Amino acid sequence: MTDKLERAHQILEAGIRLAKTPQGEARLEEAQVYPGYAEPGYDGGPVALGNWNRITRWNRISNTHDTLDNTPARVGELLEKAGVELEWNDEWTECEGCHLIVRTQADSYSWTRSYVELDEYVYCESCLLADSDLVEEHLRRLEGEDGKADTIGIDLEGAGYVKIASEETGLYGGQCGSPARTSEELTERGAVRHLYQIDGVGQFDADWSVWVHQSQAHLLEGKGITTTGSDPAEAMKAGLKSATVQMHELKGEGVRMASINPDGTATVKLISPQDFIDGKALDD
């Protein structure tokens, strides 16, 4: 491992010296080498994080990308030949505790974060679970936040929380779990120390559970809570119907664009072909 790490650094340093452009030099200076992975399901190492694409410029005459500097790509090839794993620096980051790397961008529909962010620091699952103070801080930061959830799979019962309900949220009929509605009701009853945990994710849906700290669980005894909102399938039907009517009523030349809203309504607008090509419609 030590020999591979040293060899990786030597290759990067040589690439920096031999880069043909300032952009290529800067890209290789940003590359980092780590001993290995903290991400579940990955092993091996060392690992180099960087942008291994060639430096190119668009040629409007030939409609092709002209290569200005192939040094980053060449360095990547040499690193792989030296037994170093290659990853992209916009998909991974370093754990503050063990200095191994974790994935920050999904590589499958079932992927969930195996790390947490506390202030400006990132901690992988192993480092988090090894430090009870970090676990406590992580959970307290999740309390009362319907837009955040634990993805590590922490033993919440052991941490002093009581499960209140399990739900699913998605695009299919009946998948109408609403963390926002759940938090609203729990807060109204004084159970502000509640948090969410992701139990599973799919391409179009997610399973989750809501937990309340045992110090406030008595506030819910003998009372049910509402954990659902509008049915997504019914909202989609209503939105499509509304969009169809509005499309027929819309007058003028251009591209007709409709957006279906979560409440079953639709927003329809007319944009110029050029604005559509430029993506300006998505900015509104």
Domain endpoint, select from 189, 220, 251: 220
Which helix (H) or strand (E) segment holds residue 259: the answer is strand 255-260
Residues 95 and 28 in one domain: yes
Q: Is residue 112 part of a domain?
A: no
How would residue 157 be classed by pLDDT, with cut points 50, 70 and 90? very high
Do 247 and 208 lie in one domain? The reply is no
Structural domain contains residue 267: yes
Token pair recorded at residue 38? 């903290």
Domain count, the chain: 3
Instruction: State percent of the chain over pLDDT 70.
Output: 98
Shared domain check, 94 and 39: yes
Round to whole Å and give the CA distance between 214 and 149: 18
Statement to judge: residues 261 and 180 lie in one domain:
no
Residue 190 lies in a domain: yes
- The residue out of 220, 249, 265 marking a domain boundary is 220
Examine the domain organization and report whether 271 and 194 are in the same domain.
no
> Do 268 and 191 share a domain, yes or no?
no
Residue 260 tokens read as 């279906």
- Tell whether 213 and 250 lie within a shared domain: no
125-139 confidence digits (pLDDT tens): 999 999 999 999 999
d(CA 28, CA 89): 11
CA distance 229 to 214: 26
Lowest-confidence pick of 168-182, 225-239, 268-282: 268-282
The verdict on pTM exceeding 0.75 is yes
HSE-CB at 17 with a 13 A cutoff on CA atoms is 6
Together in a domain, 95 and 59: yes
Sheet of 194-201: strand order equals: 161-170, 205-213, 194-201
Residues 197 and 272 in one domain: no
Query: Could you give the dihedral angle defined by the CA atoms of residues 272, 273, 275 and 280, in that order, rounded to the nearest 10 degrees?
Result: 100
- Answer whether residue 47 shows pLDDT above 70: yes
pLDDT band with cut points at 50, 70 and 90 for residue 171:
confident
- Strand 47-50 and strand 32-34: the pairing is antiparallel
Question: How high is the pLDDT of residue 279?
Answer: 74
pLDDT in the model for residue 281: 62
Q: How far is CA 162 from CA 89, 153, 198, 214, 237, in A?
A: 39, 15, 15, 6, 37
Within-domain flag for 254: yes
What is the arithmetic mean of pLDDT over 75-83? 97
Domain of residue 263, residue span: 232-283
Q: Are residues 247 and 202 in the same domain?
A: no
Query: Is residue 115 assigned to a domain?
Result: no
Q: Which of 83, 103, 123 is the last residue of a domain?
A: 103
Is 20 part of any domain?
yes
Residue 218 clears pLDDT 60, i.e. is over it: yes
Element housing 181 (H / E): helix 179-188
More confident residue, 115 or 120: 115
Q: What is the mean pLDDT of residues 175-184?
A: 93
Residue 171 belongs to a domain: yes
What does the pLDDT read at residue 7? 95
pLDDT the model gives residue 253:
85
Within a domain: 80: yes
Enumerate the β-bridge partners of residue 166. Answer: 209
- One domain, residues 16 and 97: yes
pLDDT at 12: 96
252 in the same domain as 204? no
- H helix count then E strand count, the chain: 8, 14
The contacts found for 127-133 with CB under 8 angstroms, 24 or more apart, are 127/38, 127/95, 127/96, 127/97, 127/98, 128/97, 128/152, 129/154, 130/97, 131/97
